[in-house]
Amino acid sequence: MSGNLVVRMAELEIEPGMLEAYRVLLAEEIEASVALEEGVLSLNAISLRDNPSSIRILEVYANREAYEAHLKTPHFLKYKNETAGMVRSLTLIDVDPIMMRAKS
């Protein structure tokens, strides 16, 4: 794996009554980020089966600059602003990839 990659795991707890609205905004942000930002290599969101309000996002960026640029994009800022009241907690965890592969 490239030493330049920035890989993070985001662990979120969403207000249950706002979950559907949150999912719409998250999907919109992920679609825009992957389509518009060359340095966003992948964004994958999942929820825990027994607790759908527990969301996990695996984020992969080409490098630190791509990650920093992502944080300043209009679509990310819209997502952060519009979901602020929906997110009960957010934990960002820097991780080291061991092996990541996907079919295109």
Q: Rg (Cα) of the chain, in Å, rounded?
A: 14
pLDDT tens digits along 61-97: 999 999 999 999 999 999 999 999 999 999 999 999 9
Domain boundaries, given as residue ranges, for the chain: 6-94
Domain covering 6-94 in this structure, CATH number: 3.30.70.100
Q: Phi first, then psi: what are they for 50, rounded to 5°?
A: -85, -5
The whole-model pTM stands at 0.92
